[in-house]
Structure 1
Amino acid sequence: MAGAKDSRPSASLESSPWMQLSPGLGSQFRRPPSGEVALQLIKLLDECAIHIAADSMQSANICLEHISHFASADAFNKTKISSVYEEIHVQRLFFKLCPFLKVAYVITNQAIIEAMEGEKAWFDLLQKLSSQPEGPPHLKITAIHENKDVLEQMDLQLTEKANSLNIPFQFNPIVGKLENLDLESLHVKTGEALAISSVLQLHSLLATDEGMMRNSTVASKNRPKFSSGLLPMLMVITDQEANHNGFTLMERVVNSFKFYAALFDCLDSTVSGALIDRQKIEKMLFGEEIKNIIACEGVERKERHEKLEKWILRLELAGFGRVHFSFLGMIKAKELLQSYDHHYNVKEENGCLAICWRDNPLFSLSAWR
């Protein structure tokens, strides 16, 4: 109706410069200079999120049409973020090509070795255990995974390696999800020294309580699982240093774009854009995470990354105290990073660590007891 005022958010496609770019609207699409693409794509993503929030699907679809042009295979590096919302995870390739998880494991292993010194059991690299002066200890590894085949392969490979090094070894596979873990299935015996290593997993627990506030602690019913129920000698947590657990779609779009733009940038420094391995990481790992952050709600939204400051609050209120990482662990991490691009670095703050790209923290590590 003429003169009627639309009460929805004011992102008008009719007045948007992107309307002039659509091949479907009668003009030839021309890509702007690469230096402008990322900024223009951010505006398009913001505009699209506004229309989705206002339930204006027709306008949102037009935005997505323009986004698809910017995110074509030969586009500017960061624009690929918008075209990777599909397929499955490829964690192994990410581990191989980027140093983030390698550094996390180096620091974690060193911290656990130091915490378990003198004990009968510890969780670390089998090779290091075999060279201990007092001889290798008995090692029991409990692994949790939804896929039984993955656990069977882990069991086969770890058992073979342990036997070759004459290390007493036991593998305890648990088929299931972390949020459904039953303490009884861990089979922790009295007197066993227990260490917990959580790598990019703990944030998924935040999906189990839809009534929680963003700054709240983990639900009280879950606290015994991480404190009195297990009493680990050490718990090391590695997670994304990002804020992707916002209540609003707009907040998650903006924050995830910044975070994954940095990840795409560091991946670009490691391999060229034409390599198949890189494309798999972009689509199957980053893409699935982005899709979950943006498109899912409720318990289906598992990628609820939060910054370390919020995890510190939760864990301290659950009764844990921070354990500082040793200087030796830092040295080993920095030595590993020297074989990669010089823009990678590790920062220490209040006993916790952040693995950074161009001084931008992307993954955090913290140790607790």
Structure 2
Amino acid sequence: MVLPLRVTALWGPSAGEMAQNMFSDMESVLQFKRGLEEASKFLPSASQLVIDLETNPFSTWKKEETPRVVVKEEKSERDSSPNGSRGRKNHEREDWDLEEGRSNKQSAVHVEEGELSEMFDKVLLWTGGQCCGNDADQEVGCKSLQPDEQSNGSSGGKSRSKRQNKRMETVDLRTLLILCAQAISSDDSRNANELLKQIRQHSSPLGDGTQRLAHFFADGLEARLVGSGNGASNYFSSLTSKRTTAADMLKAYKTQLQACPFKKLSIAFAIKMILHAAEKATTLHIVDFGVLYGFQWPSLIQQLSLLPNGPPKLRLTGIELPQHGFRPSERIEETGRRLANYCERFKVPFEYNPITAQNWEKIPIEDLKINRNEVLAVNCLFRFKNLLDETVEVDCPKDAALKLIRKMNPDIFVHSIVNGSYNAPFFLTRFREALFHFSSLFDILDSTLPREDQERMMFEREFFGQDAMNVIACEGQGRVERPETYKQWQVRTLRAGFKPLPFDQELMTKFKGKLKSCYHKDFVIDEDNNWMLQGWKGRIIFASSCWVPA
């Protein structure tokens, strides 16, 4: 599909309309349908309980906070499909699910259009020498991220939690979590329930990093205990979610960018490498696995417009999961219209080819419309972690996706991954690794943001909480969180017929300077085997690399 550029207002649709469309499809991405009959045995009758899954079925806000709930039997890409291919439906999970339920469309309309437009520019565009965020906001972030301010929050937060923290000193929540996981693994439900009770008493979504982690991990353990592994995803339908507006989600996304450099540096890395490959191109074709809302591309469009010889034509093939209903391509087409508006604004010729596919590794190469006279760049930002592996399917989808990319014969393949070891087929091994990984994530936000920060709490609930629950509660194709380490991806990519590009040392120097001047001292950036590694207190959390056909 080619979206023609029309002469419209600078931003095309109004910012209110953009926000409405951008955040209107949460239920088609995040609601579960498969096994709803099995799930009903855990729920009271429909007249007694209705569950609202519009914002996020994984969300762990307790029922007493939302006493009236509403049930919707809409299908989720996070869990299942009629043909049983559940595991591939959640490619977009790390990647920034900033969606809202359809009943929340009205909330987006009330957002001030000027304020929302300004927020889009601040978050998505390159200004003042940096990508994805402006200097004014970055200065605010820098000041709030100093080491001597970590973990304390405001003085009010300290006074409120002082007595609670004193009591927590004698409780080892990590040990309790592991003991509870062991009890569940051995079908000792009585002991597991007693341990869960203890964890609940000493954990809180408002406490320090460990208490917050324990709160969300307890939700995952409870879901596994009630749902018994493969059926655990059915229990998610009994979890309610606090309603959030589109503006709130944008603020949470922006807050995360300011508090943590991982996403920002990964996007900057991809843009730098693609621009270098397309220096003398007349046409640049980007195939983006997991385009979602296209948040990573306005900055590239802006920088293409600044090239000395003028911008090349930009062709973007955006690959996403189909939505349920009568318009399965609605969201990905709206992404194209939004990017077309940016291209019109910066006078970059633009052509858009949206592809909605359930199994990305099986997309026919003809559908990608690759031309010989163009520079071809393939990009994947943290989305291959949701592909299945050899433990579920003999023909490994992760390897098949890499083979498809190799068949495209790209000029450059930019791959950013979540570096995780919690993909073990054995529950206890996976649980321990997930505990280490998510401990770092919660510690990052506890060290860089006040505990009472509303955007921080929303981000932890909507992203960390639901990812952890899927890792803990689900098995088989229902478990869609399947990250691997950069060394494992190195083997897979070499085997698929690629070779790594040498790392740009000048770029690494710039990134290290930005990290040192603007972020907490415990963030680290390093290089190994041509991978850019990003981490926290020595633990590698994200990695990025560039490849070309061997």
Question: Against the structure 1 CA distance between its residues 192 and 314, is the aligned structure 2 distance closer, same or farther, given a 3 Å change threshold?
Answer: same
Equivalent in 443, 456, 460 of residue 265 of structure 1? 443
Q: How does 1:63-142 map to 2 (within 5 A)?
A: 63-84=195-216, 85=219, 92-93=253-254, 94-95=256-257, 97-122=259-284, 123=286, 125-142=300-317
Q: Structure 1 residues 36, 99: CA separation in 2 closer, same or farther (over 3 Å shift)?
A: farther
* Contact persistence 1:218–1:314 (CA under 8 A): no
C-alpha distance in structure 2 between counterparts of 1:140 and 1:367, whole Å? 20
- Offset, 1:311: 0.6
314, 331, 340: which one aligns with 2:509 = 331
Q: 1: CA distance between counterparts of 2:377 and 2:522?
A: 32
Q: Distance in 2 between matches of 1:155 and 1:314?
A: 31
Superposition deviation, residue 32 in structure 1:
6.0
Q: TM-score, normalised by structure 2?
A: 0.56
Report matched runs for 1:210-359 at 5 Å.
210-211=392-393, 222=401, 224-228=403-407, 230-337=408-515, 338-359=517-538
| AA partner of residue 126 (structure 1) | I
Letter in 2 for 1:139: L
Give the conservation status (yes or no) of the 8 Å contact 1:195–1:232. yes
Q: 1:13 corresponds to which residue?
A: none
Whether 1:143 and 2:318 are equivalent positions in the alignment is yes
Query: AA paired with 2:384?
Result: L
Q: Paired residue for 1:205?
A: 387
Q: State whether structure 2 residue 348 is matched by structure 1 residue 170.
A: no
Secondary structure at 1:312 match in 2: helix
- The corresponding residue for 1:42 is 174
Can you list the C-alpha shifts for 1:210-240, whole angstroms capped at 9, x where unaligned? Answer: 146xxx9767655531212x11111111111
Where 1:236 maps in the other structure, the secondary structure is strand
Kept after mapping to 2: 8 A contact 1:323/1:368: yes
> After the TM superposition, which of the residue ranges 151-160 and 299-308 deviates more from structure 2?
151-160
2:11 matched to which residue of 1? none
**Would the alpha carbon gap of residues 269 and 292 (structure 1) be closer, same or farther in structure 2, given more than 3 Å must change?**
same
| SS of residue matched to 2:459 | helix
Are residues 31 and 336 of structure 1, via their aligned partners in 2, closer, same or farther at CA, if it must alter by over 3 Å? closer
Check conservation: 2:204, 2:214, Cα contact below 8 A: no
* Contact map agreement 2:301 2:342 (CA 8 A) in 1: yes
Segment of structure 1 superposing worse, 170-179 or 217-226? 217-226
Q: 1:150 Cα deviation (Å)?
A: 3.5
CA distance in 2, matches of 1:60, 1:244: 22
Distance, in Å, in 1 between the alignment partners of 2:197 and 2:274 is 50
Secondary structure of the residue that 1:325 maps to in structure 2? coil
Alpha-carbon distance between aligned partners in 2 of 1:334 and 1:220, rounded to the nearest angstrom: 33
Q: Which amino acid aligns with 2:354?
A: P
Sort the Cα spacing of 1:255 and 1:221 in 2 relative to 1 into closer, same or farther, 3 A.
Answer: closer
Tell me, which stretches of 5 or more residues in structure 2 are unaligned? 1-163, 220-238, 287-296, 324-328
Letter in structure 2 aligned against 1:49: A
* Stretch moving more, 123-132 or 179-188: 179-188
- Quick check: 276-285 or 153-162, which moved more? 153-162
Instruction: Work out the CA distance in 1 between the residues paired with 2:364 and 2:194.
Output: 47
State whether structure 2 residue 546 is matched by structure 1 residue 367: yes
User: What is the match of residue 25 of structure 1?
Assistant: none
The corresponding residue for 1:57 is 189
CA distance in 2, matches of 1:288, 1:358: 24
Is contact 1:324-1:352 (8 Å) kept?
no
Task: List per-residue Cα deviations over 1:9-59 (Å, max 9, x = no partner).
Answer: xxxxxxxxxxxxxxxxxxxxx87654554xx11111111111111122232
Q: CA deviation at 1:160?
A: 1.0
Q: Which amino acid aligns with 1:55?
A: D
SS of the residue aligned with 1:117?
coil
1:321 counterpart SS class: strand
Contact 1:240 1:364 (C-alpha < 8 Å) held by counterparts = yes
The range that moved more, 287-296 or 60-69, is 60-69
Contact 1:223/1:318, CA 8 A, preserved across alignment? yes
- 1:208–1:299: 8 Å Cα contact kept in structure 2? no
Contact 1:111 1:325 in 2 (8 A): no
SS in 2 for 1:206: coil
Given residue 145 of structure 1, which amino acid in structure 2 is its aligned partner? E
Tell me the CA shift for residue 183 of structure 1: 3.0
* 1:74 Cα deviation after fit: 4.1
Q: CA deviation at 1:195?
A: 0.8
Secondary structure at the counterpart of residue 104 of structure 1: helix
Uncovered stretches (5+) of structure 1, i.e. residues with no partner:
1-29
Deviations 1:315-342 (A, max 9, x none): 1111111112212322342344232222
- Which residue in 1 is equivalent to 2:93? none
- The separation in 1 between residues aligned to 2:364 and 2:182, in whole angstroms, is 41
Does the 8 Å contact 1:207/1:301 carry over to 2?
Answer: no
Q: State how far apart, in whole Å, the 2-side matches of 1:273 and 1:231 are.
A: 48
CA distance in 1, matches of 2:477, 2:354: 25
Q: Distance in 2 between matches of 1:132 and 1:321?
A: 28
CA distance in 1 between counterparts of 2:416 and 2:381 reads 5
Structure 1 residues 72 and 223: alpha-carbon distance in aligned structure 2, compared to 1, 3 A threshold: closer
Contact 2:200 2:215 in 1 (8 A): yes
> Would you identify which runs of 4 or more consecutive aligned residues in structure 1 move more than 4 Å?
30-37, 85-91, 216-223
Q: How far apart, CA to CA, are the structure 2 residues paired with 1:35 and 1:110? A: 47
Letter in 2 for 1:324: P
The one-letter amino acid of 2:339's match is: L
Contact 1:130/1:165 (<8 A) preserved: yes
Q: Name the structure 2 match of 1:24.
A: none
Scaled by the length of structure 1, the TM-score of the pair is 0.82
